[in-house]
Structure 1
Amino acid sequence: MNFARPLTIAATAVLAVSISVSTANSQGLSAGAENSLRQRPMVMAAEQVLASVQRSGHPGYAGITLADKEVMLWWKGDVPADVTATVRQATRQAPVRVAKAVYSQAELTAAAEKLEAWRKANPGAGIHGVKNPGDGSGLVLAAYPGVATVAALPTAGVTVKVVHEQPMVSTSRKDDAPPWKGGAGTWNQTAGTICTSGFGVRNSANARFVLSAEHCGQSGHRIADRAGQFIGNVGAAHDDHDISLIPTSSTTNQMYVGNGDSNTVTTVTGWGHVFVGQFLCQSGVTSAEQTGGPVCNLKVIFFYQDAEDLVEAEQTDGQPAARGGDSGGSVYSYTSGGVVANGTVTRTAGARLGFQDFATANRDFGIYIP
């Protein structure tokens, strides 16, 4: 197979993009929100290809990224016939191109586990994260500024690049009411901290929860809205992944998207995976207070391959990606008729955002968007 050429470019893909742009304009969305909506056909195509790969479990898979106008499927070795067939089907949504990867995802995962074990055993080395750029080219180690390039790294078997940057730090709609929504201000009455709710969710037993960040409240902590109305006590939590569930009596598949005092809401139509190159928005309360609305143009740039398993995005206009009090807040993308849940805010460093993706919350807790 020629990895340098698109397999198929369907005419319907161009129409789908045109419809998305028209919809964005008719809804009066911001430029950042328009970027997210414009990508929806590519995201749908990427979801279709990812589902096929997950079903078959082929070892050559390396990653999926979103380019400006096409989906990139990165693969090591020959692409199996069933994946090729799915790629052809997915081009009905948007162009999909298969590109050659240096390493498979399995190889990168094994290397990341080795590097993460070394990092934990050598805290003085100044490495604070292990990242995957999503294209099968290797791994990236994040080091504190001023730390000399590490010469004693273990042999990982893959290309490893070291970048020097400050680690992201945790970021910790004022009067919501049942049914509880995403993007609302929350108050940990046990610890005295404020955050933002992520999404109203359910599990297979139809129990209802508010999804949030674990550092916003440990199990048993009493959580209320900013006006003091009780939501629930924190229940199940995953410390490494920084996500938690707040059991409550009533939730809804709506979330706030206006300014800090606005009652403007939109419908959360479901949840989706995230891909490198995807544009997202986040609706933390503090940012909404300071900017008048959500923070958009958050472009996914890395997946962390360490114990935290976070996703990193960057605000492409250089604006702050999140602020104190945004933690736990909704990370999402636009679709026709509403938004798609993609994750919850964990930490930030300037224009960079660290968040936990909804797919991980689904895997950890078995939750979904009702």
Structure 2
Amino acid sequence: MRRALRMMINACVATSLVVLAGATESQAADRPGGSVDVPDSPITLALRADAVAAYQAIEALSAAERTGYSSLMVDPEARDVKIYWKGQRPDRLARDLQRRGLGNRVLIKQAPFNRTELLAAVKQAIRPGEATLFVGGRRIAETSRVVAANPDNDGAGISVTVDEAALPETERRITAASVDGTVRLGATEIPATITAGPVPVTADLRGDTPRRGGAFIRVPGTTSTTNAATCTAGFVVINSAGARRMMTAAHCARKGQQVSYSGGSRFGQVETSNSGTDVAMYDNSATTNAFQGVVATGGAYNNTNGQTLYTDDVATGPGIKGADTVIPNTLGWVSGALSGEQGYGTINSVDVCINYSGWQEVCGLYRLRQDAKLGPLAGEGDSGGPVFWRVGGGTSSGKVWAQGVVSGIEGGTTGECPNNGWRGTRKCSAFIYVAPMGKAMDTLGARGLVITG
């Protein structure tokens, strides 16, 4: 029997499965004018609403009926939602889409691979020594390793990133821009987009003692974590026993470690930590301060003027409406303890596997990117911070839909960090990796998200 949606406080949250569907290509309807780059524009909101509604139609199918699903994406240029499906779509799905009024607004297109096949390829490609890469029939990157991989949004193959530092100069030039190739996995070859890039890193600060930075948490070094970590608090969830817990990143907090806030006073203890998905949650057993279901928003921490996001016992900011569905080409904002509120970025790939530098393999993440000219989305010290869809209002008003928590960053420089004078070596990036909310809650055994708006 298909697992039911988890119970929520005053709202429902979607599970982590991202599967959407709709009409045939010939049934697409014209969209009204408007910029899809503006978060509250009618076209942006309409596309997002269609995608979420179609997701619900797919979620209503049985597991057997969903076997052909490959991927879902919002297409901002065509101003429609596209679903890629291998083989024949279920008649039940078509009827449900018509009933929901989506029959002429969402396209269904054929894909050569289903999601199960693509995820298996991604997980195999990320393992050392298991992927052989070819461009133009010639093997490349023999001395390198795949540091990131994800299914393509159109279901046609996968995308892989290889460690640029380990490539010979000739191959580095070949992969300086994304190139079409193939990945050989045992006896199987799958089309692949191959890019050389930096090894992603987790977005914590190790062995550092910054001043009060707002919503950052400090986890002291132990026998299982040799260095102290400075990270960010995420969303408040309900554990299996009905108690409130705060989410953060697993690379920041191992089970049993103590957690303190900015001034160093002890706050609680890590209850659950899962390194495979890079999520954790901790309690407030060392304080009388209750967890508050809001997101801190505003400018970055600044050592010069002492600006903070929120303090240990007072939290103001937008309330939480519920958990959001992660859909490629929709938008997301980030709130990091040291970078402040940044965004919006665009979700450009989901179900990503990463080989983190100095950490381990983590799968099931999604990638959020912002035009580098607009500045960073997050940086070191922001791990575990909330990622969300913002609905109206300024920095301290409006509401947000929870999308996930920050895991790591790709590339970046110290010069990209907002108000970085307090520690000039901190690195920030416009490309970040996020643990999606639904999968994070499932992994942690959380049965609900605290809803405050």
Q: Does 1:268 align with 2:320?
A: yes
Q: Which residue of 1 aligns with 2:386?
A: 330
Q: Does 1:65 align with 2:145?
A: no
CA gap of 1:46–1:279, structure 2 versus 1, over 3 A, is: farther
Q: What 5-or-longer segments of structure 2 have no aligned partner?
A: 1-21, 133-141, 176-180, 205-209, 222-226, 302-307, 311-315, 355-360, 393-397, 413-429
Q: Which deviates more from structure 2 when the two are superposed, residues 306-315 or residues 58-67?
A: 306-315
Q: Which residue of 1 aligns with 2:292?
A: 252
Q: 1:315 aligns with which of 360, 370, 378?
A: 370
Report the CA distance between 1:2 and its aligned residue: 8.2
Q: Distance in 2 between matches of 1:142 and 1:53?
A: 34
Deviations 1:242-290 (A, max 9, x none): 11111225323211112242454011111122111121011002111xx
Report the CA distance between 1:5 and its aligned residue: 2.5
Indicate if the aligned counterparts of 1:196 and 1:329 stay in contact, CA closer than 8 A: yes
Indicate if the aligned counterparts of 1:287 and 1:295 stay in contact, CA closer than 8 A: no
Q: Does 1:297 align with 2:345?
A: yes
Q: Does 1:170 align with 2:198?
A: no
AA matched with 1:114: Q
Q: Distance in 2 between matches of 1:152 and 1:299?
A: 24
AA matched with 2:399: G
Q: Distance in 2 between matches of 1:107 and 1:49?
A: 22
Q: Which residue of 1 aligns with 2:338?
A: 286
CA gap of 1:104–1:127, structure 2 versus 1, over 3 A, is: same
Q: Which deviates more from structure 2 when the two are superposed, residues 257-266 or residues 51-60?
A: 51-60
After TM superposition, list the pairs within 5 Å mapping 1:1-370 onto structure 2: 3-6=24-27, 34=40, 38=45, 40-53=48-61, 57-68=65-76, 69-91=79-101, 95-117=105-127, 119=129, 124-145=143-164, 147=167, 148=171, 153-154=184-185, 155-172=187-204, 184-190=215-221, 191-248=227-284, 250-259=290-299, 260=301, 261-263=308-310, 264-288=316-340, 293-305=341-353, 307-309=361-363, 310-318=365-373, 319-335=375-391, 338-349=399-410, 350=412, 351-367=430-446, 368-370=448-450
Q: Distance in 2 between matches of 1:222 and 1:145?
A: 37
CA gap of 1:6–1:267, structure 2 versus 1, over 3 A, is: farther
Report the CA distance between 1:212 and its aligned residue: 0.2
Q: Distance in 1 between matches of 2:387 and 2:23?
A: 37
Q: Distance in 2 between matches of 1:32 and 1:225?
A: 36
Report the CA distance between 1:116 and its aligned residue: 3.6
Q: Distance in 2 between matches of 1:61 and 1:151?
A: 22
The structure with the larger Rg is 2
Report the CA distance between 1:202 and its aligned residue: 0.5
Compute the TM-score of the two structures, normalised by the length of structure 2.
Answer: 0.67
CA gap of 1:157–1:301, structure 2 versus 1, over 3 A, is: same
CA gap of 1:218–1:338, structure 2 versus 1, over 3 A, is: same
Report the CA distance between 1:232 and its aligned residue: 1.1
SS of equivalent residue, structure 2 residue 117 = helix
Q: Which deviates more from structure 2 when the two are superposed, residues 275-284 or residues 159-168?
A: 159-168
Compute the TM-score of the two structures, normalised by the length of structure 1.
Answer: 0.81
Superposition CA RMSD, Å:
3.5
Aligned length: 345
Q: Which residue of 2 aligns with 1:27?
A: none
Q: Distance in 2 between matches of 1:361 and 1:90?
A: 29
SS of equivalent residue, structure 1 residue 356 = strand
Report the CA distance between 1:102 and its aligned residue: 1.9
Report the CA distance between 1:303 and its aligned residue: 2.7
Q: Distance in 2 between matches of 1:131 and 1:286?
A: 29
Report the CA distance between 1:139 and its aligned residue: 0.8
Identity of aligned residues (%): 21
Q: Distance in 2 between matches of 1:169 and 1:82?
A: 44
